[in-house]
C-alpha cells in the first residue's frame, strides 16, 4: 500500500509519454485496418503465419493457456524496458506493431465473423492488457529520453530511471498482466465459445 502513492507519482510523470504512445497505438490500429482492407490476400497469409506461431501441438487446458499467455506477455513487455535505451525506438516500434496487428485482426474478424465476436475476444482482457502495453512503451520511451539526455548532461540518472521502471513493472504491471491472462484464458475463451 505504501508503494501505491509512489507508483501514482511515477505514473503521473509518464503522462506525456503515455499520451504519445496512445496516439501511436491508435494510428497503428487505423493503419492495420486500412492495410487489411486493401491487401486481403497478403493479410490472409499473415494471419495464417501468425496462427501457426501460436498453434499448440495438442489440446491445452485453460490453466496451461493462462501460463503461456502470462509468460509471453511478461517476457515481451519486460524486454521493452532495457531496449528503451536506444532513444526509445524499440518501445515505439513495439506499440506500433501491436496496434497494427490489432487493426488487421479487427478488419479480418469483423468482416469474416462479426464485430461482436471481435469485441468479445478483445475487450475482457484487452481493457487491462492494452493500457499495460501502452504504459510499458511509455516507460521505454522515457528511458530512451533519459539515455539521450545523459549524452549531454549528468542531471538525470539512467540507473535511477531503470530502478524506478523495474520496480513499477514488477509491482504494478506484472500483477495486471496476471489478471489479464486469467481473464483471457478463462473468461474470453468461454465468451467466444458461447457466440
Domain assignment present for residue 96? The answer is yes
CA atoms of 184 and 178, how far apart (whole Å): 10
Domain assignment present for residue 4? The answer is no
Domain assignment present for residue 56? The answer is no
For range 129-146, the mean pLDDT: 94
- The runs of H, that is alpha helices, within the chain are 2-13, 15-38, 40-54, 62-83, 89-112, 115-150, 158-168, 174-182, 189-194
CA atoms of 53 and 49, how far apart (whole Å): 7
Burial class of residue 54 in the structure, from the number of CB atoms within 10 Å of its CB (0-12 exposed, 13-18 middle, 19+ buried)? exposed
Q: What is the pLDDT of residue 95?
A: 94
Domain assignment present for residue 99? The answer is yes
Domain that holds residue 79: 13-35+63-190
Domain assignment present for residue 101? The answer is yes
Higher pLDDT residue, 129 or 50?
Answer: 129
Higher pLDDT residue, 47 or 51?
Answer: 47
pLDDT tens digits, 84-126: 888 788 999 999 999 999 999 999 999 888 899 999 989 999 9
- Count of domains for the chain: 1
Amino acid at each position: 500500500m505504501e508503494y501505491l502513492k509512489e507508483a501514482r507519482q511515477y505514473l503521473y510523470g509518464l503522462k506525456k509519454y503515455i499520451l504519445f504512445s496512445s496516439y501511436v497505438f491508435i494510428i497503428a490500429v487505423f493503419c492495420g485496418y486500412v492495410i487489411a482492407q486493401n491487401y486481403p490476400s497478403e493479410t490472409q497469409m499473415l494471419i495464417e503465419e501468425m496462427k501457426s506461431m501460436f498453434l499448440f501441438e495438442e489440446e491445452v487446458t485453460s490453466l496451461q493457456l493462462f501460463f503461456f499467455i502470462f509468460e509471453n506477455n511478461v517476457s515481451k513487455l519486460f524486454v521493452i524496458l532495457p531496449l528503451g535505451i536506444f532513444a526509445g525506438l524499440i518501445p515505439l516500434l513495439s506499440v506500433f506493431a501491436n496496434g497494427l496487428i490489432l487493426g488487421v485482426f479487427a478488419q479480418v474478424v469483423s468482416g469474416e465473423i462479426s464485430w461482436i465476436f471481435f469485441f468479445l475476444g478483445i475487450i475482457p482482457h484487452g481493457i487491462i492488457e492494452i493500457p499495460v502495453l501502452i504504459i510499458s512503451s511509455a516507460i521505454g520511451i522515457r528511458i530512451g529520453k533519459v539515455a539521450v539526455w545523459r549524452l549531454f548532461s549528468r542531471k538525470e540518472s539512467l540507473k535511477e530511471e531503470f530502478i524506478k521502471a523495474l520496480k513499477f513493472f514488477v509491482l504494478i504491471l506484472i500483477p495486471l498482466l496476471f489478471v489479464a491472462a486469467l481473464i483471457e484464458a478463462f473468461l474470453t475463451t468461454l465468451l467466444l465459445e458461447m457466440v
